[in-house]
């Protein structure tokens, strides 16, 4: 039988020896949860301050703990702190190092469990991540508005089913994504309220007999409230699920935006040209200029969606309360945040290096079929029921296709054969910019309406 090898990590008096090295390697998380060091140290400083205020530790002991934690923080920031994998995670590494340097460190964990400690650290980390997300969303919105303003007079075909539908201003299309991103902003800002609750003081599952002042710690750490049930506090990961869900929706929006730029940059469309700094060539075909940045943003959305599914599956079968399975939430969360924030950053930069080919857009929007619905509306204004008007225009389109005569060049006599109400004023409908000027309602792509929306967003984003 293989001899079981034990390490001598800090496992307490219950165990005569540490875990098998295989177990130690399997269960350690310091290789990724070290990223929580700021939150762990800030949380420990607040906890220590409270312990001093209630008389559990002296002012001198607090000063020693504070000095030690600040020194550890500086070493981590400088990249010289030695992480010990036998100490399992970020919490044990920091506490053990502190205790080795000052006897007062042994009192730091009074009234605290790693269960409520890690829940606190994660909430602090997510709060900061939301702040960063909101700033990056705003930057991307500003980049979209700036590009829209630059090309506000360019008209492109709007699409449904990826088939040409009706004309819209290019700016109106970009502003659609600004609206989508605003919903992402709102979702994340709303999620903040449910993250902004302090679990520290809940202990392992049942609080503490030591008279901890949880509200004081919440004040020190900038939390708006404290949790009301110790069992829920240590096992709750809803705030991570909600954040991951909001970021997954955001990633899907970025994917859709990327898809439009991928399509628009093709030779078949030729609406935009992405700068060389944000495209790549082919290893074989020297003529190629590929929109790799947009494609990778599109691809990474699947990764973020997968992280959300992994997190949901992680918690779905857990009994109350804390279970070690929850260690697996961090890599998925960290990856989601890194991926989304990188995507937001690079896309905003890419948009600053995009040029619109107005001539190609003009050619595409000159298709008279884009105004077929306008003709139907014109007939409605002449008293023709819409369903009948729809049929009239459909017949005209069929004749246009059969004869090869563009819809706007179809003789008036042909129109009259289909419906007698048609007259010479029908030809005036086939002017794209006049057609857009007739779209005057809120949210429509009329020139005046687009200008109003550009001004609104420019003001909001300041």
Domains in the chain, CATH or no CATH each: 21-107 (1.10.275.10), 114-363 (1.20.200.10), 366-460 (1.10.40.30)
Share of the chain above pLDDT 70, in %: 96
Radius of gyration of the chain (CA): 31
Active site residues: 161, 282
Q: What pLDDT is attached to residue 23?
A: 86
> Whole-prediction pTM value?
0.93
Q: What average pLDDT does the chain have? A: 95
Exposed/middle/buried for residue 7 (C-beta within 10 Å: 0-12, 13-18, 19+): middle
pLDDT band at 20 (very low <50, low <70, confident <90, very high): confident
**Which candidate, 213, 202, 187, 54, places its Cα nearest to that of 117?**
202
Q: What pLDDT is attached to residue 295?
A: 97
Helices (H), 196-328: 214-221, 230-235, 238-264, 292-315
Which whole-number Å values give the CA distances from 350 to 137, 262, 324, in the listed order?
14, 12, 42
Q: What pLDDT is attached to residue 8?
A: 46
**Segment 90-116, tens digit of pLDDT:** 999 999 999 999 999 999 999 999 999
- Cβ atoms of 269 and 364 closer than 8 Å: yes
Residues 290, 274: Cα–Cα separation, whole Å: 9
Helices 114-150 and 90-101, interaxial angle, to 10°?
Answer: 120
> Per-residue pLDDT averaged across 29-44, rounded?
97
Q: How many other C-beta atoms can be found within 10 angstroms of the C-beta atom of residue 177? A: 18
- Cβ atoms of 62 and 107 closer than 8 Å: no
Report residue 333 as tokens. Answer: 């969360």
Q: What pLDDT is attached to residue 161?
A: 96
């Amino acid at each position: 039988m293989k001899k079981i090898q034990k390490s001598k990590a800090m496992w307490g008096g219950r165990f005569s020896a540490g875990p098998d090295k295989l177990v130690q390697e399997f269960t350690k998380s310091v290789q990724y949860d070290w990223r929580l060091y700021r939150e762990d140290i800030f949380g420990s400083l607040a906890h220590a301050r409270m312990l001093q205020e209630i008389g559990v530790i002296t002012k001198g002991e607090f000063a020693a703990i504070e000095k030690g934690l600040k020194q550890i923080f500086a070493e981590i920031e400088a990249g010289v702190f030695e992480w010990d994998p036998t100490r399992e995670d970020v919490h044990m590494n920091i506490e053990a190092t502190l205790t080795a340097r000052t006897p007062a460190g042994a009192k730091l964990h009074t009234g605290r469990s790693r269960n409520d400690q890690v829940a606190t650290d994660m909430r602090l980390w997510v709060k900061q991540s939301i702040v960063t997300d909101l700033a990056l969303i705003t930057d991307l919105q500003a980049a979209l508005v700036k590009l829209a303003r630059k090309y506000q007079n360019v008209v492109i075909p709007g699409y449904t089913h990826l088939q040409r539908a009706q004309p819209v201003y290019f700016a109106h299309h970009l502003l659609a994504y600004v609206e989508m991103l605003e919903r992402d902003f709102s979702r994340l800002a709303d999620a903040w309220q449910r993250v902004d609750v302090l679990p520290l003081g809940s202990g392992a599952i049942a609080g503490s007999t030591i008279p901890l002042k949880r509200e004081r710690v919440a004040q020190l750490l900038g939390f708006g409230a404290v949790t009301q049930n110790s069992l829920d506090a240590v096992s709750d990961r809803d705030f991570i699920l909600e954040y991951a869900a909001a970021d997954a929706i955001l990633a899907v929006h970025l994917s859709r935006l990327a898809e439009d730029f991928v399509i628009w940059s093709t030779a078949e469309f030729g609406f935009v040209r992405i700068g060389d700094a944000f495209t790549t060539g082919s290893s074989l075909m020297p003529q190629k200029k590929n929109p790799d940045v947009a494609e990778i943003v599109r691809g990474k959305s699947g990764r973020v969606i997968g992280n959300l599914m992994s997190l949901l599956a992680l918690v779905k079968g857990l009994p109350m309360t804390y279970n070690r399975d929850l260690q697996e939430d961090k890599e998925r969360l960290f990856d989601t945040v890194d991926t989304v924030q990188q995507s937001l950053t690079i896309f905003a930069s890419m948009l600053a290096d995009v040029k619109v080919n107005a001539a190609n857009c003009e050619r595409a929007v000159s298709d008279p079929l884009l105004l077929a619905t306008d003709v139907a509306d014109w007939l409605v204004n002449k008293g023709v029921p819409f369903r009948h008007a729809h049929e009239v225009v459909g017949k005209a389109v069929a004749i246009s296709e059969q004869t090869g005569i563009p819809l706007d060049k179809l003789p008036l006599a042909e129109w009259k054969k289909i419906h007698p109400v048609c007259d010479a004023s029908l030809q005036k409908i086939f002017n794209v910019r006049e057609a857009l000027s007739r779209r005057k309602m809120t949210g429509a792509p009329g020139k005046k309406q687009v200008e109003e929306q550009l001004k609104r967003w420019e003001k909001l984003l300041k």
